A and B are shown apart, each in its own frame.
Chain A
């Protein structure tokens, strides 16, 4: 079983839509969680860390469910510029070990 699993998508949504991605992780001792976005042929960029109580940054909301071992990312009012691959990253109990999901591709269409 993979350490981190994501639905690869693609998610094709119209501008203005709300879209949500989930990511599951296998190690219950995982300590910290992040969402990154990666544009085609570019490096990943940190979108947001995910905190236990959930957190919001503008149109983006991240949630953590430790009991079910998943994190989610909600994007409201999608923009064309949100089109990218969204990577779920989990930091294991060994804090220098990060596990990446394979990414979820989002296409926002006019």
Chain B
């Protein structure tokens, strides 16, 4: 089955640090990757949609300069949380879908638990 790897799984760092999260599709080419954030006991919230070789599309209310997304290849997208603050602490999850038919599901990475002190 489709496998998506996300790294790191856990980050604890000081306020003001920038944190980079990688999302890789291991056994398929992902033309589109999605980045989500989930606070405790809440639903997944889509932050941005990333298409290989083009700029990401951010959802309303998500600061593109704060959350930098790069999708340079068909198997890798990265999310950088710049100058992170405690309110950025959350569970960040990426997902990927393959190219081809429009009815393909998303496959999720393991998630990154970010804690900013």
* Residues of A participating in the B interface, judged by any CB pair closer than 8 Å: 31-32, 34, 41-46, 49, 87, 89, 91, 95-98, 100-103
Chain B, interface size category, equals: 20 to 34
Contact partner of B105 (CB less than 8 A), chosen from A42, A43, A49, A100, is: A49
Q: Is the CB of B107 within 8 A of A46?
A: yes
* Residues of B participating in the A interface, judged by any CB pair closer than 8 Å: 6, 32, 34, 43-44, 46, 49, 51, 91, 93, 102-103, 105-111, 113
Q: Is the CB of B110 within 8 A of A43?
A: yes
Contact partner of B43 (CB less than 8 A), chosen from A49, A98, A103, is: A103
Task: Please give, as numbers and ranges, the residues of chain B lying within 8 Å of A43 by CB-CB distance.
Answer: 6, 93, 108-111
Interface of B is mostly: strand
Q: Is the CB of B43 within 8 A of A34?
A: no
Contact A45 B108, CB 8 Å, known A100-B44, A102-B43, A103-B43 = yes
Task: Please give, as numbers and ranges, the residues of chain A lying within 8 Å of B46 by CB-CB distance.
Answer: 98, 100
Contact A49 B34, CB 8 Å, known A43-B108, A43-B110, A44-B44 = no
Q: Is the CB of B105 within 8 A of A34?
A: yes
7 CB-based A-B contacts, threshold 8 Å: A32-B102, A43-B6, A44-B44, A44-B93, A44-B108, A96-B49, A100-B44
- Write the nearest CB–CB distance from B111 to chain A, whole angstroms: 4
The complex places the Cα of A43 from the Cα of B107 at a distance, in Å, of 10
